Structure 1
Amino acid sequence: MIESKLLKVKKWVDLNEAAIRLSIALDEPVNTLDLMELALEGELVLSVKFPFDKKYIARRMYEEHTPMGVRLKKLFKFECFFRHGNNLNEDEYLEEERKYIYQHYENFLASEVGSDLSEEQKSFTYYCENIKMVEWGYGEIGYLKENIYELSMLGAESIDVMWLIQQNREREMEELTNLDGVILRGSDGELYNLQEKFDDEFIRDMKSDSSSETKNNILDKFKLNERHYFPAGGLPVGCELGMSPVNMSLFERKLSEDESKIPEQLVLTTLGAALNEITSSSARKWTQGDLAIRIADKKIPGLSERTINGIFARCKKQYKSM
C-alpha cells in the first residue's frame, strides 16, 4: 500500500478513496464497482460506517452445532403440524417421524457415495448422534458500541451491495430477501445481527406486552425488549460503504503474492530478450525503462511492459539481497 501517515491512524476510508489508493498501489485503474464485485466474490472485505448521531441495535451471533437426530425431530414437529395438525396419535406420529429422519439419512448416504467414510460413520446411529447441523444462535439484544463494522456477506448486506452495483449500471434488479438479516463483523471478530424495531402500533397490539407493561417498574421501561425487534432487511439509511486500511493492505498483498509467481519461462524469455538488445545494438547506456519498452514492442505473449518491469524489479531486489 502507498505510504501514508494518515492511513496508519485511520480506521476507514470511503470506496472512492479506497479505489484511488488501490489504483496507485496496483498501478492499474480500480473503481468502486470493481471493489463491490470483488467483495461479493469474497476476494476482499468491505466495511460500513454508521452515522455518529444515531444508535443501532444488534444481537451477537454464534454457531450452534446440533446433532442431526435432535434437529430433524424439531423440524418434523414443525412440518407435521402444518401437514396433519393434531390428527395423528402417538404411534402414528412416531412412525412418520422415523420415516422422515430415515429419508434424510438415506439422502446423506447417497451424497457420500465414493467417499472414504468408515462403516461406523455410515451407520444410522452415527448419523443421528455425531453428524451436526450448524445453525445460528443469538445472544442478548443491545446497542452496537462501534460505528464501523465489516460486511460479512453472509446476510442481507450482500443484497444491498448487489443493488448498488445494478443501480450504477442503470439496470433493474429483482426484489431479493435474506431472512437472516444484516450480519456484521466487529473489530472483536464477533458477528452481529443488526435489528430493526416493529412500528409502535404493532407493539401496542402485542398481547404479551398488554398484560405485562403495567407490572414493569420504571427502570424496565428503558430496557430493550427483544420481542420488539427483528432482523433488519438491509443496511440503514445514512450509512457509507468503504474499506479499512488493514483490509486494503491485505488485498494488495494478496495480489502481489499472485504476481510474484512468475513462470520460469517468462523470466528466461525476458533475460534472453534483454541480452539480445544489449549485445546486438551499438554501444549505449540502457535504462530499465528503455529495455522494458523495447522488449514489449516485440509483442511476446505474456510479456507486457508492466510484467517486464516487474521481473526486472524482482531481479534487482534478489541481486541486492545477496
Structure 2
Amino acid sequence: MSKLFKLKQWLTLEDAAKRLSTTLGGQVTVADILQLALDGSLRLSVNFVNHAYAKCCRRVPIKEATYQEVPSIENPAITVRLYKGPRTDSEVFEYKDGLVKLIGIYTLSMVGAERLDVDHRLQMETSGPVVTLIDLDGTFVENGDGYIYQVRDIHQDKKISADNSYPAGGLPDDAVLVMRTSDITRFEASLDAEDEEPSKTNTTERENLLKMLGGMALLLAEKGGKYKRGNKPNAASIANEVSELIEHHPNSNLYGMSTRNIREKLSEAIRLLADS
C-alpha cells in the first residue's frame, strides 16, 4: 500500500478505478465501480464542494417509531400511518429541528434518490438510457455519527430555513462522487478473505459470543448519552463508533465489519441476551 494512498482520505472515481485495477490485476473502470456500488459490494461517497443544506434525521427502528393515524387521501374511510419523517421497510428517519450545512465528504446511504444518481452516472458511462425515475423521499447521506441526512433544496428567492426547504431530487450539480480510501481498503480486504476457509464456529459458540457482545453493549449503554435509546442500547450509535475505531486501527481486517453488519450483529446479540 503506497504511503500517498494511506495519507489520502478519499479518491476520485477515476483514481479509485486505477487503484483497484492494480489490486485485481485487471482493468477496472468507473462503470465497474458504479455497478459494484449499486450491487452493494462497495460504498460510494460524495464531496459537497460548495456545501449543501440538509435535515438531520434520527434512525429509528420502524417498530419503535412514533406515528399518527390519519385518513387516507385515496379513501378517507381507511387510516394510514403518518411517521415523523421518511421511512424504509425497517427504519424511520425522524426529522430533527432546523437545517444543517453539509461540507466535505459524506457516504451515500443508497436508500433514496442518491441511488438513482449513481444509476444515471452508470448509464452515461455505458451509453445507456437516461434514468427518468424519481424518489419523492429525497436524497440521503451519512457520516458515521449515527444520523442520516436528507439533502434539501431551498425555494427560490426565499430565506434559508427548514420551512423554506424541500427534499432534493438528487445530489447537487456541483457535488462530486468519490470513494473513501477506508472503503477501498475494506473492499480489498473482503476480496482477500474470499479464499480463506470459513469459520468452523458451531452454533453454541456463536450464541455465546453474541451474548458476550450483547453484554458489552448493555454495559456501554449504562453510561447513557448517545449509546442508549430508551431502556435499550443504541445499536446504531455503538456500531458507528466501533466501525470508526476498527477503520483507524493499524493492520485491522475490515472484512465483514461494515457499520450495517455491526449494527445487525449488535441487535441480534441484544435480542439473544434478552431471550436467554
TM-score tier after normalising by the smaller chain length: 0.5 to 0.7
Alignment equivalent of 1:247, drawn from 183, 187, 190: 183
TM-score, structure 1 length as denominator? Answer: 0.53
Contact 1:55 1:143 in 2 (8 A): no
Q: Does 1:172 align with 2:129?
A: yes
Structure 1 residue 61 and structure 2 residue 57: aligned? yes
Of residues 96, 106, 119, the one that matches 1:162 is 119
Matches within 5 A, 1:90-169: 134-169=91-126
Number of the residue aligned with 1:233: 169
Asked if 2 retains the 8 angstrom alpha-carbon contact of 1:63 and 1:135, the reply is yes
CA-CA distance at 1:22 after TM superposition = 1.1
Within 1, Cα distance between the matches of 2:74 and 2:146?
39
Partners of 2:120 and 2:131 within 8 A in 1: no
Q: Would you tell me which structure has more helix in proportion to its own residues?
A: 1
How many residues get paired?
191
SS at match of 1:56: strand
Matches within 5 A, 1:65-76: 65=61, 71=67, 74=69
Gaps of 5+ in 2: 82-88, 199-276
How many Å separate the matches in 1 of 2:66 and 2:98?
27
1:27 alignment counterpart: 25
Runs of 4+ in 1 over 6 A off after TM superposition: none
Q: Is the 8 A contact 2:154 2:165 kept in 1?
A: yes
**How big is the shift at 1:227?**
1.0
In structure 1, how many angstroms separate the alpha carbons of the residues matched to 2:66 and 2:11?
A: 46
| Residue 184 (structure 1) shift | 0.5
Please report how far the alpha carbon of residue 67 of structure 1 lies from its aligned counterpart in structure 2 after TM superposition. 5.7
Give the root-mean-square deviation of aligned CA atoms: 2.9
Q: Which residue pairs with 2:140 in the alignment?
A: 183
1:97-149 alpha-carbon deviations (Å, 9 max, x no partner): 6xx99xxxxxxxxxxxxxxxxxxxxxxxxxxxxxx974221112333353111
Q: State the distance in 1 between where 2:65 and 2:132 align.
A: 36
Query: What is the percentage of aligned positions where both structures have the same residue?
Result: 30
TM-score normalized by the length of structure 2 = 0.61
Higher strand proportion (structure 1 or 2)? 2
1:235/1:66 CA distance change after superposition, 3 Å: closer
The separation in 1 between residues aligned to 2:144 and 2:91, in whole angstroms, is 24
CA contact (8 A) 2:45 2:180 kept: yes
- In our comparison, the structure showing a higher alpha carbon Rg is 1
Superimposed CA distance per residue, residues 67-88 of structure 1 (whole angstroms, 9 cap, x where no aligned partner): 69974x61xx331x6535xxxx
- Relative contact order, higher structure (CA 8 A, sep 6+): 1
Residue deviations 1:240-262 (CA, integer Å, cap 9, x gap): 11211100000000011013349
| C-alpha contact (below 8 Å) 2:59/2:147 kept by paired residues | no
Alignment deviations for residues 6-53 of structure 1 (CA, whole Å, 9 cap, x no partner): 2222111001110111111222221111111111111100111121xx
Secondary structure of residue in 2 paired with 1:226 = coil
Report 1:204-219 matches (<5 A). Answer: none
Distance in 2 of aligned mates of 1:198 and 1:69: 29
